[in-house]
Structure 1
Amino acid sequence: MKSVIFTWVLRLIPAIILLQTLFFKFTASEESVYIFSMLSMEPFGRIGSGIVELIAVILILIPRTTLLGALIGIGVMLGAIFSHIFVLGIEVKNDEGMLFILAIITFLCCSILVIKDKGKIPDLMNFKI
């Protein structure tokens, strides 16, 4: 029972973080527009990454597809983390590093989900619809 609860917590944390950021991306909030303008990816990068994050959330929450969603989440968060480190800086628009911290938390949760389900990775190659 503890393992099931732990797994759901690991699913819910990145899902909630990613869903919360979708609101800002899809409503073109000032911070999101600023970030993607700094990355020379506004508006297509903002909207595109939002769509990918939405897909990741859906996949993470479905137990059968959690591994795939977590892999996508890792990829998206690596992009966010590297963007903060190399272009944006840790603190963006006086957020005290909150976006960077949320990216790290999401990356860690998704990484633990992948490690937990690493035995299923070969099954991804045989995925049939």
Structure 2
Amino acid sequence: MKNNKWILWALIAFVIFVFVQSLFFKFAGSEETDIIFATIAQWMSTVGLGFATERFANYGGYLIGSAELIASALLLITATRRLGALLGLGIISGAIFFHLFTPLGINRTIDAAGNTDGGALFFMACGVWLSCALILWITTKEPTS
């Protein structure tokens, strides 16, 4: 049982680290964030979602960043931990979808010069997905006190 607590907190720390460190990029309107959300917005226009592309390109980073911040806070509180893990799982499932099924790709462009991240963001997203799933599994198996 004690090992589960350490594992649980390591998983929570990883998810929060990934979500919170990305907030600077999302809230500061960094070039990387602009490229990500503009790429997805362009793709949205090709699948009949053109009505939302401008808003998504301009405000998607703020919306996703806010959701990640809320998920991080929920993960810290025992009573809301499962909800935080579910929210994190939903957010990161969307991220993985966009990496796999849109022009964003796994090895995405990070700047105007065409440099890529080597897949780092995608693999971190996979780690967050696995961590959120394990948090749900561990907290579901824990006896309630």
The alignment's TM-score, normalised by the length of structure 1, stands at: 0.88
Counterpart residue type for residue 21 of structure 1 = S
In the TM superposition, residue 86 of structure 1 has moved relative to its aligned partner by 0.9
Unaligned 5+ runs, structure 2: 42-55, 110-115
The alignment's TM-score, normalised by the length of structure 2, stands at: 0.79
Matched, 1:7 2:23: no
Q: 1: CA distance between counterparts of 2:37 and 2:106?
A: 15
On the 8 A contact 1:12/1:61 being kept in 2, the answer is no
SS of the residue aligned with 1:100? Answer: helix
In the TM superposition, residue 101 of structure 1 has moved relative to its aligned partner by 0.5
Q: How many residues align?
A: 120
On the 8 A contact 2:70/2:84 being kept in 1, the answer is yes
Q: Deviations over 1:10-52 (max 9, x none)?
A: 1101010100111110011101110001111212211101100
In the TM superposition, residue 119 of structure 1 has moved relative to its aligned partner by 5.9
Q: 2: CA distance between counterparts of 1:119 and 1:9?
A: 17
On the 8 A contact 2:72/2:84 being kept in 1, the answer is yes
Q: 2: CA distance between counterparts of 1:21 and 1:89?
A: 18
Counterpart residue type for residue 37 of structure 1 = A
Stretches of 4+ moved more than 2 A in 1? 117-120
In the TM superposition, residue 117 of structure 1 has moved relative to its aligned partner by 2.4
Partner of 1:46: 61
Partner of 1:89: 105
SS of the residue aligned with 1:96? Answer: coil
On the 8 A contact 1:60/1:69 being kept in 2, the answer is yes
